[in-house]
Amino acid sequence: MNCPNCGAPIPPTASFCPNCGCDLRQQPVSVGIPGRQAAPVGNDSSGRPADPRGTAPRRPQGFEEATTAGGPHRDDRQSDQGGHQRSKLSGGAKTAIVVAVLMLVLVSLGFVLLFTSLVGNVSLRATQSTHPVTFVVSILDYDDESSRIPVHITGTDIHGDEVDRTIFLAHSGVDVELLKGRYHAEVLGSPISSSGMIYEVPTTTIDFTLGDDLEPGEGYRMPSSLSFVFRSIDAQNMTDDKIADALSWARKDEEAGLDVGKLEAAAKARQQSGLEEQSAEPEPEPQEPPATPEDQQPVEEQPQEEQPQDNPEPSAE
């Protein structure tokens, strides 16, 4: 059934249209296609046939207030508002979930970046950190006033860069700072002691490695098996060339701030004392050279006289 006023479907037992509030008790209703009004039946109050195009029947008094104060329209609006609020709640929940996921991703990414940064800093520090290296030297009559020992260091560091340095070994403590890598060290010249002593230059080459087992900044001391051993030169064998070579290295070591003239005087005095000792030694007596076979005269053999032998007399029986 449909309302004759608005064409909305209505229940068969309804007295008023739930959509427009039309009084259905005095109005014909249509059955069939919604929206098409049924032809009015009967006459109007004047006795004339009712006009199907007439005005809509008057709504009962109080219907408008009922519909606006809590009727069907309000229920529809409340239903619509409830659905809209549920939509809003659903959208807010989705937004909260998205924000939470993004925050989790950002926090995780921050931890990853922090860890990577820490690992990178440790690795960078390990590769850029130098290590104090101390050499072991065996030398006689050597003190802080002696000239320092020149050493040539070559090799390759951890970055693959070639190393070629000339250093002077400290009298005590650290001799050189090096990055991790593989190196070779050899002595270039003799030092001069404060007493004027010079030394034979060791021909030993020391090969050593600063490996990953070293902590950043950790020192490395050569084992006793890898040491430079110096043997002093006797005063009688101190030549001018050997003294000049030792003095040239002492002059190149400007950082030491030594009095090279004093070292030179000490070396010359030692050399002179050696010469004097050598001249003061008594000359050995000349020895006659051994005689040669040509110088030896043959010795004539003298004949020996035969001595008569006493024959024992036969004994008488």
Instruction: Report helix, strand or coil for 163.
Output: strand
Query: Mean per-residue pLDDT for 11-40?
Result: 66
Listed by start position, the domains of the chain span 1-70, 80-128, 131-280
Which has more pLDDT, 192 or 36? 192
pLDDT tens for residues 277-299? Answer: 888 766 666 666 665 665 555 55
Structure token pair of residue 88: 């809003």
pLDDT at 64 > cutoff 90:
no
Give the whole-angstrom CA distance, residue 190 versus residue 139.
11
pLDDT-derived band of residue 66, with 50, 70 and 90 as boundaries?
A: very low
Q: What is the pLDDT of residue 134?
A: 95
- Average pLDDT estimate for 45-68: 49
Per-residue tokens: 149: 């020992």
Residue 275: helix, strand or coil by DSSP? helix
Give the best-scoring range by mean pLDDT among 95-109, 178-192, 270-284: 178-192
Task: Note the pLDDT tens digit of each residue in 222-272.
Answer: 998 899 999 999 999 999 999 999 999 999 999 999 999 999 999 999 999
In DSSP terms, 198 is beta-bridged to none
- How do residues 100-147 score in pLDDT, each as one tens digit? 888 888 888 887 777 766 655 545 455 689 999 999 999 999 999 999
Query: How buried is 199 (Cβ within 10 angstroms: 0-12 exposed, 13-18 middle, 19+ buried)?
Result: buried
Please give the single-letter amino acid code of residue 16. F
pLDDT score at 83: 52
pLDDT at residue number 97 = 85
For residue 69, how many C-alpha atoms fall within 13 Å in the half-sphere facing its CB? 5
β pairing state of 227-229 and 136-138: parallel
- What would the CATH number be for the domain defined by 131-280? 2.60.40.1120
